[in-house]
Amino acid sequence: AIQDYSHAIAIRPNMAEAHANLASAYKDSGHVEAAIKSYRQALAIRPDFPEATCNLLHTLQCVCDWDDRKRMFIEVDGILRKQIKTSVIPSVQPFHAIAYPLDPILALEISRKYAAHCSVIASRFSLPAFNHPLPLKIKSTGGNKRLKIGYVSSDFGNHPLSHLMGSVFGMHNRQNMEVFCYALSPNDGTEWRLRTQSEAEHFKDVSAMTSDTIARLINEDQIQILINLNGYTKGARNEIFAMQPAPIQVSYMGFPGTTGADYIQYLVTDEFVSPLKYSHIYSEKLVHVPHCYFVNDYKQKNLDVLDPNCRPKRSAYGLPEDKFIFGCFNQLYKMDPEIFTTWCNILKRVPNSALWLLRFPAAGEMRLRAYAAAQGVKPDQIIFTDVATKNEHIRRCSLADLCLDTPLCNAHTTGTDVLWAGLPMVTLPLEKMATRVAGSLCLATGVGEEMIVNSMQEYEDRAVYLALNPGKLQDLTNRLKQSRLSCPLFDTSRWVTPQFHILNQLKFIFNICIVNTHSQLFQFG
């Protein structure tokens, strides 16, 4: 693609679309600086080019280039509000919108537009409406039928979703439930894929099938509750859900926000992440599971992290032995000037401290170092290391003293990583779902109240207090470590066991909501 678009530009240098497409090809292949240059060239040729403007903003956000950030977000906000009123698909994708400082209602409208587009794609297959299985008494209510649950995902493989949910598909009680996994991606040959294939009762690789064929298969399997594990993430085929092959369709885990889809009736979440006072920013009805909705598999797959003999040394990663180390292991796109300025303030207030970040991507390092220097932070107070393999990453998290979360878009999998490593964090929940996940993770450890703050100033003060009071921090760390094998956050079997009751309730609720369409919250203890 890079070669072809470059050739097109050589033939027609003033073709803005070719420059923008070249930029996207550069971006997708990791050549970020070249992508930025090409997007800017496209906009120089055609200033009124919404896709190039929005894609440039996202590229700059990924590498923490914040020089023109405020003006660009104002421009993009205006573009989106115009597009929402027309038939145009918004130039900002829903997955990008969750990490932007956008009005939550605007983010909902973006999702609605993309959901409607999926319905248009679905309509092109010209399928007649599906007949759904009739409500049947299942075993828990005196019947003899099992509840049929389908999971649809492109991430059955080496992906954070499978790292987190690996045991879930096989842990369901087969006396009461029959689980089907529909894989939208081909076999990647990894242990994660092989494990799900072997442990799920039914595993179907549908990656080579058309979307309408997949929808027919799901309907023929008589699935009663169909769970979308992608949302608006890479590899999703949401048009399958738009065809409505199952009577109850649910969004879960993959996308931390609202789908905006009228064909997705429920979002499985929890009371902290999606409190009832914010139900207006979701199109789905909210199902509150106990404790934390964000399931993980660490007790089954990462027990070695709890072995003190497996703890690596700071010297192995170039980390100073004598400094207090704050750590943030999130991708750099989750950062913004406000939180990074706060981190710089923390570093200046805590003597002999450093901030440990990841080259995630590497192109962001020089910009963050420059930003920190401009804030008066010494060069040796900012430490970057490369991204590590999953198991190594979790183990080395414990080398930090305190994790600092990103409020605009929280640590999700990364937050689970650090807590399993026994590393406390400081997090500031806001309004949207993606800004509240880390707080829920913390609370589910049983010691989370001390990690959650209510303002940016309190965030700064809490981090400084814990760093300057080693006894308080050590006490919190010890209690977190002691809770790992008993707290709800890491108890996968506890999470799966009540699922039968929750999913069964969903079936019951589906019939109730035909009458009571205004009900927004269902909570199970």
Q: Is the CB of residue 228 less than 8 Å from the CB of residue 213?
A: no
Phi/psi of residue 200, nearest 5 degrees: -70, 145
| Alpha carbon 109 to its chain's center | 19
248-251/353-358 β-pairing: unpaired
pLDDT at position 494, please? 87
Q: Has residue 513 got a pLDDT over 70? A: no
Give 242-252 pLDDT, tens digit per residue.
999 999 999 99
Higher pLDDT, 501 or 439: 439
Q: What is the pLDDT confidence band of residue 309, given thresholds at 50, 70 and 90?
A: confident
Q: Has residue 517 got a pLDDT over 50? A: no
Q: What is the pLDDT confidence band of residue 318, given thresholds at 50, 70 and 90?
A: very high
Alpha-carbon span 265 to 109, nearest angstrom: 17
Other CB atoms within 10 A of residue 172 CB: 22
pLDDT at position 512, please? 44
Give 259-275 pLDDT, tens digit per residue.
999 999 999 999 999 99
Give 421-441 pLDDT, tens digit per residue.
999 999 999 999 999 999 999
- Return the SS3 of 303: helix
Q: With residue 391 as reference, give the H or E element that holds it.
A: helix 390-397
Other CB atoms within 10 A of residue 3 CB: 9
Q: What is the pLDDT confidence band of residue 138, given thresholds at 50, 70 and 90?
A: low
pLDDT at position 511, please? 47
Range name among 75-89, 288-302, 395-409, 499-513 with the lowest pLDDT average: 499-513
Six-digit token string for 213: 């064929």
**Residue 16, C-beta contacts closer than 8 angstroms, at least 6 positions apart:** 42, 43, 45, 46, 49, 52
Alpha-carbon span 264 to 251, nearest angstrom: 7
Q: What is the pLDDT confidence band of residue 461, given thresholds at 50, 70 and 90?
A: very high
Phi/psi of residue 279, nearest 5 degrees: -65, -20
Q: Is the CB of residue 339 less than 8 Å from the CB of residue 410?
A: no
Six-digit token string for 348: 């200046």
Q: Is the CB of residue 335 less than 8 Å from the CB of residue 406?
A: yes
Q: Has residue 518 got a pLDDT over 50? A: no
Q: Has residue 495 got a pLDDT over 90? A: no
Q: Average pLDDT, whole number, for the chain?
A: 94
Average pLDDT over residues 208-236: 98
Q: What burial class does residue 458 get, using C-beta atoms within 10 Å of its C-beta: 0-12 exposed, 13-18 middle, 19+ buried?
A: middle
pLDDT at position 500, please? 43
Other CB atoms within 10 A of residue 391 CB: 14
Q: Considering only CA atoms, which of 498, 8, 168 is closest in space to residue 506? A: 498
Average pLDDT over residues 294-315: 92
Using CA atoms, how far residue 517 sits from 134, 205, 211, 506, 521, in Å, is 20, 36, 29, 14, 11
Q: Considering only CA atoms, which of 253, 321, 305 is closest in space to residue 419? A: 305
Token look-up 């145009």 returns 88
| pLDDT > 70 fraction of the chain, expressed in percent and rounded | 93
Q: What is the pLDDT confidence band of residue 404, given thresholds at 50, 70 and 90?
A: very high
Average pLDDT over residues 86-112: 97
